[in-house]
Amino acid sequence: AQTVTQSQPEMSVQEAETVTLSCTYDTSESNYYLFWYKQPPSRQMILVIRQEAYKQQNATENRFSVNFQKAAKSFSLKISDSQLGDTAMYFCAFIKGGSRTYKYIFGTGTRLKVLA
Amino acid sequence: GAGVSQSPSNKVTEKGKDVELRCDPISGHTALYWYRQSLGQGLEFLIYFQGNSAPDKSGLPSDRFSAERTGGSVSTLTIQRTQQEDSAVYLCASSFMGLAGGRSYNEQFFGPGTRLTVL
């Protein structure tokens, strides 16, 4: 069975600084996808960034980037130039590839607070 | 186009009462998912609908929980004889298809959730 672990329940960062959120996972699959979702106080989950396991290059989306270490089964999220609007819960998630898969496995989340 | 909508936004009920939570997916999305998010926890998969196929109900925690999807669009999650441990945020999501096949992936879009409080 797959598991996703986020070991940092809460973090804080000063505005404009850089912060890294950790995520580790466990799977025997070779084809899978990893995600970071953001959940602001409005509760609506928003996809931040996605990484395909078959891609060696780390995904980036503007100020958001990941450090994907496949052998170590690690998938950390780096937020550069943190903004107040980045304050939210961040969830790491996994889904295995292949046909007809749809069950996402979520970590327990990291609450990030950006300080002015 | 509109995103995924859910109603009500908040629901307070008394223990033992039945509740119905509604989800309107994005038009054209054939896959629909329900999740439960308890305080301090991640998202727990409840049920999955894909087109006209039989739903995957493997995540429903008890037989007090049921869900249906009418006409392949709107979905209702029903909790009968609510208990205090049912208090949580119930999130709905939809995607164009429910497949993550090969090297393709279809993004899930989430609604704002319904916060259920059972007194």
pLDDT tens-digit map of A94-114 = 988 765 667 788 999 999 999
**Token pair for B26:** 């994005």
Comparing B9-23, B49-63, B82-96, the range with the smallest average pLDDT is B49-63
**Closest-approach residue (CA) in chain A for B5:** A44
Half-sphere exposure of A55 (CA within 13 A, CB side): 16
Higher per-residue pLDDT: B39 or B110: B110
Which residues does chain B have within 8 Å of residue A97's beta carbon, measured at their own beta carbons?
100-103
Residues 6+ apart with CB under 8 A from B44: B35, B36, B37, B38, B59
pLDDT over 60 at A44, yes or no: yes
pLDDT at B53: 83
Closest alpha carbon within chain B to A96:
B100
Q: In this complex, do A104 and B45 lie within 8 Å of one another by their Cβ atoms?
A: yes
**pLDDT tens digits for range B72-103:** 789 999 999 999 999 999 999 998 865 555 55
Instruction: Report the pLDDT value the prediction gives residue B103, as an integer from 0 to 100.
Output: 52
Average pLDDT, chain B: 89
Alpha carbons A67 and B39: distance in angstroms, whole number:
28
* pLDDT score of A40: 92
Residue A2: predicted pLDDT: 83
Asked if A66 and A36 touch (Cβ cutoff 8 Å), the reply is yes
- Three-state DSSP class for residue A23: coil
Distance from CA of B26 to the nearest CA of A (A): 14
Query: Counting beta carbons within 10 angstroms of the beta carbon of residue A76, is it exposed (0 to 12), middle (13 to 18) or buried (19 or more)?
Result: middle
Of the residues B37, B41, B47, B53, the best mutation for testing chain A's interface (the one with the most A CB atoms within 10 Å of its CB) is: B37
d(CA A8, CA A39): 16
CA pair distance B115, B19, nearest whole angstrom? 12
Q: How far is CA B99 from the centre of its chain?
A: 18
pLDDT, position B104 = 58
DSSP of B41-97: --EEEEEEEETTSPPB-TT--STTEEEEEGGGS-EEEEE-S--GGG-EEEEEEEES-
Mean pLDDT of B25-50: 89
Residue with tokens 């106080």: A41
The distance of Cα A79 from the centroid of its chain, to the nearest Å, equals: 11
Beta bridge partners of B109: B94
